Each structure stands twice: as C-alpha cells, then as structure tokens.
Amino acid sequence: MKRNNIGMVLASGTLLCAMTAQVQAAIALDRTRIIFAGGDKSISLSVKNDNLQLPYLAQGWIEDAAGNKVTSPLAVLPPVQRIEAGAKSQVKIQALPVVSQLPQDRETLYYFNLREIPPKSDKANTLQIALQTRIKLFYRPKSLMKTTAEMATPWQEQLTLTKQGDKYVVNNPTPYYVTLVDAGSQKGISAPGFEPLMLDPKSSAPLGVGIAVLGDSPALTYVNDYGGRPVLTFRCGGTGCQVVSEKKG
C-alpha cells in the first residue's frame, strides 16, 4: 500500500519533519474504510508486515472528526504491537459502554490511524521513514444497519442537486456520510477543478464546479462501504436534479 503522509526521523537526532511522497509501506491494512456497526462489541482488522527482512512495530489510535486523539467510546487494542517480517496480525477496535451515548439517528465520523515504526538502525546518520495510514471510521447505529436486500438500493441514490446561481449544490437527506470523489457529465468526462468532498448526514454543500461544465445530466461518483466507486447519473428540470440511474464502479 502507498501512503502520502510520511513522518521522517533522523536516527542520530531528534529532527522531525513532514513531506509528501510516494513510498511503499511495510505495514499494510486490509481495508480503506471501517464501518463499526452499532450493537457490535468489537471489530478486528487484519494487518500485515510486507517487509520480508525486518520486524516492525504497528501503532494504532483513533481520532475524532476534528482530528483529536480519543480513547473513548472506541479504543484500539493493542495500541502498539510487534509484527515479524512477512507476518500477519490483527488490530481490534473495542466499543466501550459509553458508545451508547453517540447519536443513534445518524452516523458518527472517526479516523483510524496506523503508524509503522521501523527497527532502529545500527548505522550512524541513517534516515528512517515511518509511514502512517489514516482512514475513515464510521460508527453506524444499529437502527441504520441495512440488510443485503435493502443495500440493493443504495441510500446515495437519495442525493439531489439544486441549482444556485451558476453552481450546483448537492443535498444529502440521509443519516449517512457520503463521500464524492468525482463529478462530470454522462459522457464520462471529469469536471476540471472538482475537489472531492464528504457530505455530513442531512447536509448540503456546493459542488464547486459550474452548471455549464456539468450540464443538465450531471454524474457524481461516490465511494461505497466496500471501497467501490459507483456513478450516480442525474436528470435536471427547473431548479433541481434527481438520480435516474447508478452505474456500478
């Protein structure tokens, strides 16, 4: 797995810095997002050390939507573990009793972080790179869990668009978070300048690209629970647009 957020530590000192790059991670996670179902006491994530020569430490923790580190109502067990070269292990996310105090009429957003810590080098002036994976963690109340049959009609199809000036505003009437990663026309052409956005439950946000670019049949790509990227096609009339079809991604 490749990750963009990289912490770099000089083995001979205390210099810390950050940079953006593409580097192969040693510790790999088995998913790109986490759904914690209300009613579950815990869930387990599979992690693997892809380095076949060296053991690594894996440090896990949870942040709230504002980026603050939290240890409740969800906790990571163990917070730090050693994973041998080429070996697999598990990280458990445990629900504490206070999880029942979270809103039960909508999802709550957290972030799960997993940082790899390389073994200390025995060579002087060696630059060591530690990569960190950060993915969305959604606490989904039991009342919002859907059956397989119900999942056949994704809630994202309830999204609507409203024309405001020369832009579209996307409306999310559902109790779920919706992440949009692309916008364009039915011809499959991505709109230049579109920035991915995540819609909170029961919220609205401007798309940031003009109506003239998207036309009267916009297409929005979202990320589903499994990391897939289905495409919603809209048909517009008057000042609003409704979903008319979905293409599996």
Give me the pLDDT at residue 18, please: 39
Give me the pLDDT at residue 178, please: 98
pLDDT exceeds 50 at position 12: no
Per-residue model confidence as pLDDT tens digits over 82-135? 999 999 999 999 999 999 999 999 999 999 999 999 998 777 766 777 899 999
Nearest to 202 by CA among 228, 173, 177: 173
Domain extents for the chain? 2-144, 148-247
Query: Do residues 154 and 230 make contact, with C-beta atoms less than 8 angstroms apart?
Result: yes
Q: What percent of the chain has pLDDT over 90?
A: 73
pLDDT exceeds 70 at position 13: no
Per-residue model confidence as pLDDT tens digits over 62-80? 999 999 999 999 999 999 9
| CATH annotation of 148-247 | 2.60.40.10
The encoded tokens of residue 176 equal: 């779920």
Nearest to 99 by CA among 88, 90, 107, 91: 107
Give me the pLDDT at residue 189, please: 79
Give me the pLDDT at residue 179, please: 98
Query: Do residues 167 and 208 make contact, with C-beta atoms less than 8 angstroms apart?
Result: yes
Q: Which residues share a beta bridge with 93?
A: 43, 76
Q: What architecture (CATH level 2) is domain 2-144?
A: Sandwich (2.60)
Give me the pLDDT at residue 122, please: 73
**Mean pLDDT for the chain?**
88
Query: Do residues 50 and 87 make contact, with C-beta atoms less than 8 angstroms apart?
Result: no
Distance CA 249, CA 244 (A): 16
pLDDT exceeds 70 at position 60: yes
Distance CA 194, CA 170 (A): 13
pLDDT exceeds 80 at position 6: no
Query: Do residues 242 and 232 make contact, with C-beta atoms less than 8 angstroms apart?
Result: no
